[in-house]
Amino acid sequence: MSKSIKTIVCAVFGATVAMSSAAFADSKADQELLQSAQAIFKPLPTFEEMQKVKKVTDAQIKLGQALFNDPRLSADQVQSCNTCHNLATYGVDNQSFSKGVTGGFGGRNAPSVLNSSLFIAQFWDGRAKDVEEQAGGPMLNPAEMAMPDEASVEKVLRSIPDYKPMFDAAFGKSANNVNFKNATAAIGAFERTLLTPTRFDKYLRGDINALTQAERAGLKTFIDVGCVACHTGVGMGGDQYQKFGLVDGPYWKFTGSKKPDEGRFEVTKSESDMNVFRVPGLRNVARTYPYFHDGSVWSLEQAVDIMGQAQLGQKMSSKDVKSIVTFLNALTGEVSEKARTVPTLPAAGPNTPHKNHHM
């Protein structure tokens, strides 16, 4: 065989090897991993499936997007929902605590609004039942947008003439439809569209090669060490309440948190809910640092390591931690261009309060 032919044969052989490693994706082990993943997690629902959960219209979504981005709904006319849940940075502000309009900091880290409509309840302690109920909170929260009451929010909305046709389109024409309840319903409708599909969803629908081999190995570690006792379902979390420091605690031993948080105990006053939190979802987790309810940990590797110790009572090898993080990175999805684009807001009317009006 001449040298050049040998080279060709080698090249062809090399290509065959490359092909068979891709075909490895269909190996028995990979099929089994896919099946166990499909039993634990769920791909994101389609728009049609979401409509069955709660019907929302285009007009409601459009109005909700405007309200989400409208700083006139805060006491200093500066802060909107998007200030702390910036849709260009995965629905968070990447700060431990967020600064409210009066300069004070709330006591908890701002979780992402992305995919949050899928969770059993809203907030770290689950005190709001859904995104519609939640949306009323921040506008009136003194540590956030600090409006004095619902009536003052309505007064602002009614002072902006171009909101009226938008409320008419969203909720049907009527004299009093520009109200707080409809505003929160519209914001909720917009939030229900904030789903971020990933390659992992393709994987769960049966496309094994949508995840790299290293990501699949990380998924296997995530399942095998027991993270899936809590981080399950469509949000990879968000569907149950659990104590932080369940197996080894208290949790601040690991996080160094200065001020312990009672968590769900604040809502139920039941001793068994002390330091219990809604399990956070892990979609986009690589982008939503810092971690935990108090934003006490900035590195995802460290957060994973702490989870192993506090929730599972095991110190994982750094190889396992890294492997899990490789998988978690594959959960970064796409925020649609439409959602990321700040819409043109309706112009102020003669009676719209000016900056610092309430302060």
Q: Which is nearer to ligand HEC, 41 or 291 (CB)?
A: 291
Q: Which stretch binds ligand HEC (CB under 6 A): 9-17, 104-112, 153-161, 334-342?
A: 104-112
- Exactly one of 277, 333, 335, 339 binds ligand HEC (CB under 6 A); which one? 277
Does residue 231 touch ligand HEC according to CB under 6 A? yes
Q: Which residues pair with 41 in a beta bridge?
A: 233
User: Count residues contacting ligand HEC (CB under 6 A)?
Assistant: 51
Which residues 232-251 are close enough to bind ligand HEC by CB under 6 A?
Answer: 242, 244, 246
How many other C-beta atoms lie within 10 A of the C-beta of residue 344?
9
Tell me the one-letter amino acid at 135.
A
Tell me the one-letter amino acid at 102.
T
What is the closest distance, in whole angstroms, from the C-beta atom of residue 164 to ligand HEC in the complex?
20
Does residue 123 touch ligand HEC according to CB under 6 A? yes
Which residues 126-145 are close enough to bind ligand HEC by CB under 6 A?
Answer: 131, 134-135, 138-139, 144-145
Does residue 83 touch ligand HEC according to CB under 6 A? yes
Which residues 57-76 are close enough to bind ligand HEC by CB under 6 A?
Answer: 68
**Of 334, 277, 295, the residue nearest 126 (C-alpha):** 277
Does residue 78 touch ligand HEC according to CB under 6 A? no
Does residue 100 touch ligand HEC according to CB under 6 A? yes
Structure tokens at 319: 């190889």
- Exactly one of 33, 34, 186, 187 binds ligand HEC (CB under 6 A); which one? 187
Does residue 331 touch ligand HEC according to CB under 6 A? no
Q: Which candidate in 132, 144, 191, 215 is catalytic? A: 144
Burial (0-12, 13-18, 19+ Cβ within 10 Å), 17: exposed
Question: Alpha helix (H) ranges present in the chain?
Answer: 3-23, 28-40, 47-53, 58-68, 81-84, 131-140, 150-159, 163-171, 180-191, 199-204, 213-225, 252-255, 265-268, 300-312, 318-329, 337-340
CB 67 within 8 A of CB 187: yes
Q: Which is nearer to ligand HEC, 12 or 39 (CB)?
A: 39
- Exactly one of 111, 233, 333, 346 binds ligand HEC (CB under 6 A); which one? 111
Clarify whether 144 is annotated catalytic.
yes
Q: Which is nearer to ligand HEC, 40 or 312 (CB)?
A: 312
What is the closest distance, in whole angstroms, from the C-beta atom of residue 17 to ligand HEC in the complex?
34
**Of 7, 101, 41, 44, the residue nearest 231 (C-alpha):** 41
Burial (0-12, 13-18, 19+ Cβ within 10 Å), 25: middle
**Of 109, 131, 122, the residue nearest 267 (C-alpha):** 122
d(CA 232, CA 240): 9
Q: Which is nearer to ligand HEC, 122 or 179 (CB)?
A: 122
Q: Which is nearer to ligand HEC, 115 or 352 (CB)?
A: 115
Q: If you ran DSSP here, which 8-state letter would residue 233 be given? A: B
d(CA 60, CA 168): 10
Does residue 230 touch ligand HEC according to CB under 6 A? yes
Known catalytic residues are: 144
Task: List interacting residues with ligand HEC (CB under 6 A).
Answer: 68, 79, 81, 83-85, 98, 100, 106, 108, 110-111, 113, 116, 119, 122-124, 131, 134-135, 138-139, 144-145, 187, 225-227, 229-231, 242, 244, 246, 277, 279-280, 282, 285, 288, 291-293, 303-304, 307-308, 311-312, 324
